[in-house]
Structure formats: C-alpha cells, structure tokens
Chains A and B, each alone.
Chain A
Amino acid sequence: MSALLTVTDLRAYYGQVQALHGLQFEMKEGSMTTLLGANGAGKTTTLRAICAMVRSTGSIQFAGTPLLGRSTEAIVKLGIAHVPQGRGTFTSMTVEENLQLGAITRKDKEIASDIERMYAHFPVLKQRHTQQAGTLSGGEQQMLAVARALMLRPRLMLLDEPSFGLAPLVVRDLFRILGKINREDKVSILVVEQNAQLALELADHAYVIETGRIVMSGTATDIASNEDIRKSYLGY
C-alpha cells in the first residue's frame, strides 16, 4: 500500500504561539491510523492543519498533492472529510439537510442512494430525518456528523475525539460502525482519541504526540502491548 498522507516538518501557530514543532508522520491508503497523546499535545491542531484551519508551515502531501496553501474547501473537494471535535453538525438544519450538505460538492446522481445507505448504517437517523440536528442526543449527533462526512465519499476521514462526551455503549457502537466503514467502503481514517485503549483496539497504526512532536510510532498492537508507552503516555 502506498502512502496516502505524508506529513513532513509540520509547524502550526495560533497567533504568536507555536503549537506543532516539526511533526512528521505518514498514513497508508485504506488504513485506520490513530493519533494519541495527552490534552494539549497537538492532536487536534494536526487535524486542523491538514484542513488549513490553522496557520502552518512544512509539507502535507495527500496522494501526491500538496495541501498547504489550499483553502479548506479546496482540500475538502480533494476527498478529505473532517469531523471536528464538538461534531460540527448544522444544528439549525434537519438531519436530511445535513446529509445533503455533506455531499454538496458532489456532482453525481447517487446522492439520494448514499443517503439511504447512511440510514442503513445509522437507522436512528432515518427515524429523525426531519428533525433539527440540534435536537438530537449527543450520540445521535456524532453519528450524524460521521454520516455527513461519509456523504462526501471521502478517501480520507479525519475524526476528532469521536467518543467525547458519549456513553460507553454508544461509543462501542460508533466504533464498530467506523471499523465497518473502513473495511467495507475503503475509507482511510485518521482518528484522534483520548480513549487510547479503544482507539488502539480498532486502528492498525498509531502515533503518539507530545508537545507538538511525534514521540512514538508503530502498529497499534505493538503500541498497545508496550507497557512503558501505555504507562507514560497513554495513562491506562
């Protein structure tokens, strides 16, 4: 498998404050990779940098195309869907409208059938398809956010803390579906998680970030089985 995403010497800044200090990693097509690390390590910033939502320097290559210098919407059009922390659904719009918005850049005629497919993945969304997204529960909103991202038919999906604020059972369910999507729809997934244990169960590759730098990388099984890493970085 070739590298889908190659990040080299990535530095990102919030105003005068530097948040990433020369980050370096890559991700294979079709893989599910997770970025781990403590609060404030720079995981979210990394995802935001990929989507041009924070000022950054260095190099990000997506399937051979450089991303830096492009606008957020142009990057999305290349096939990168981002599910931000706090879900980023359109709260004042209906579930169905949210799904349509996910496919807003697509020109093909299969949008309607894709919506049906999402309803198959997440049956609860079908029940609520005319409801305002803001009225959904936290778990339902997260599902909607993922479904909305999938409507892009992305090659790469960026997920920021999907488990945040959700009940454990809901999280299990969500990750099960994510795994299915990764396998069946061949969507590469880069997921940032606080819940390292859960993420490592599902992912095939993992990177550990500390204060804006990659400090460890390896297959998910290696990382998960390494007692030292678990204790010092992942805290479980």
Chain B
Amino acid sequence: MPRCLLRLPFAALLAATIALGGVSPSAAQKAYDPGASDTTIKIGNLMPYSGPASAYAIVGRIEQAYFRMVNDQGGINGRRIEFISYDDAYSPAKAVEQTRRLVERDEVLLVFSAMGTPSNAAIQKYLDAKKVPQLFAATGATRFGDPANFPWTMGWQPPYQTEGRVYAKYIMATKPDAKIAVLYQNDDLGKDLLKGLRDGLGAKAAMIVAEDSYEIGEPTIDSHVLRLKASGADVFISITTPKFAAQAIRTAARIEWRPLYVQTLVSASIGAVISVAGFDNAQGLVSAAYNKDAADPQWRDDPGMQRFHAFLDAYAPDVNRTDNSAVYGYGAAQCLVEVLRRAGDNLTRANIMKQAAALQGYAPDTLLPGITVDTSASDFHPIERLRMMRFSGDRWELFGEVIGGELDK
C-alpha cells in the first residue's frame, strides 16, 4: 500500500492519508446500512456467467479473487468482504430478478460492477428507488454518470462517447481533411462511440464518408471491410469487439487497405486481439487507452503491473492474463476497495456514494501513467482521460498528451 501511494499526486496522497488516519476518531460513530457490520461488508454483483456474453464473466472472477486477496490481507478496516455474484445471462429481466435477490434477500450494501449496458439500465431505476449504490457499473454508456437524475449510479471506465471524442480530436489535429469510414457493432457500444465521434467532429461530421454496422451473430465481417474500403476513405475507425476487431485487422491487411487505422480500446489488447490478428498486420494501428496492457513488454518492470501479476499468480493462476478483462476487473475492484477504505466505519449507502464521488487523482495499479480516477458531486464519470498510442513492433507506444474528452453536459 505505501509503495502504491508514492505514485499518487500529492493532493490525493494527502486525502488518502487523512482518510486512513481518520479511522480512529470516526470509530466512535459507527454507522451501518444493511450489508455492513463490524465484521463484514456484503457486495453484490451481476455477471453473464452463462449465455452469449459469457466472455465478460472473467471480470467477475477476477473481482472475486481480488476480494479474496483483500480478505487474506486482513480485509478493509478489519471487515471481510463478502462478494455475492449472480448470473444474469445478459438478460435484463434476469438482471432485475437477481438484483432484487441481492438487495432484498442477501441484503447487500451495494451493487458493484454489474456487467453490460442492458443489465445496468434495467436495474438502475430499482436501485435508485431503493437508494442502493450501483457503483462502477461495467459499461461505458453515458447514462451511468448522471448524478442529477441518478445519484446512486456511477460508471467506471471512460464513457464510449468520450472515447469517440478523443478520436475526433486526434483526427482533426492530424488529418484535418480526412475521409473517415466507420465500422461499428450494432449495440450500445457502437452507437455511443459513433455518437461521441460525430459530436467531437461537430461541424466537420461530414468527414465521415461511410458507416457500416454488423451484428454479433455474423460469422465474418469481411464484406463490411470491403465495402468501407470501396468508399475511398483514408481513416478507418473500427468500433469492434475482439473477434471482429481481429478479423478486420487481418482482412484490411490482406486486401492491402492501409488507412489510418483506429482500433477502439475495447479490442486493443495485445494478447487477446493484436497477437491473434498478427503483429505484422497491426503495425501502425492507433488506439486510445487508460489501462496498461498485461501483455505489453513495456510494463514488465512497472510496480503496479508487477503487483497485478503477483495477484494473478496467487489468486487466479488459471485466468488468461492477456485478456484485458483481467486488468479491468483488478482496477475496478481496487478502486472499490479504496472507496470502502475511505468510508471508514461510516458504512452507510449515502456515505459510500459520498466517498465514491470524492475521488481525486486516485490511480489504481493498472491505470496508465497520467490517468487518474476523478469524481465529484457533479462528475460521476470516474475515468475520463485517455492516452493515444500507436502499435509498433510488439507493443503500444504512447504518444501525445493525456487527452480529456469530458462530456459537455
């Protein structure tokens, strides 16, 4: 823990020290909501362990393992974390049922890192009515950072729209007369990111000369790539999940289409996408990132990533660590632990939200240098900054400044 603090900006360090040091005075005034007690903190979670989206369930397994590690190290302020994770099969109806079970039967203190836009959207209203925190929802849809309407809901990762704006900024700065072709997955990820891109381009949205969407049921997306190439675009933005991202990278290389290739961060993982598509095919790819890549050799000596790997060795040795879901789960879990630590003995749901909305400059082990978690009473998007990077050799090379794509409300 102290080693980790060294990397924090000074202000955050100060805040963290106060929070940690403040344990003894507040001990006099212990306060609990359902799910918290002197000995345990119950945390609920939803994951698609079954069904078509089960690939993402790895996040839940990592979070479970992370909390086990925290418990082994003495818990949070002496309390054990009881992590209750249910399968929602990525179905909104099931998500509501399981959330009610978590809240009404298991009486969890909060729901943490529920996976996916549909599930989170389905449970948002219920949790809001019950005043149960919906913390660090595992989706980049913008609606999960809206404190005015949903004061109990907070996302975590950079909103998809933010990412879209970051690419818009980058393209306008480097290729002001670009002709852009966009391939996007026909779901919330694709549509939100595309919206961010369009908003970011603003008056120059006409730069987008071709858009093509695909459904996740399609075996291959070759024909989409062909069609986009035929549009004559010189910038290609691939808003795709891993399988389709790798297909597009490979197909574009095979048909010798060499535009400025922008790959969205959800599929920028070296281990899970780039290496599978082939390093040769991926040279020059551009993406944005907020997490370190577990398979990127440049982080081999990074203390944060060393802790990450040590954690995996000890608590989740069978997990494929190149899957960027592992990095994601680790970072989100670490961030939640930080919030709970700061909440001290005041484990009321209101205080949890207050603490979650007061993170400034906090950096979990897995975030890129210069990227931090920042929230406030009016900012429920914890991570809103990204760094551009270009693929070269066998690694991503970061370039340029940290780009903020804060959404204008």
Q: Do chains A and B touch in the complex (CB under 8 A)?
A: no
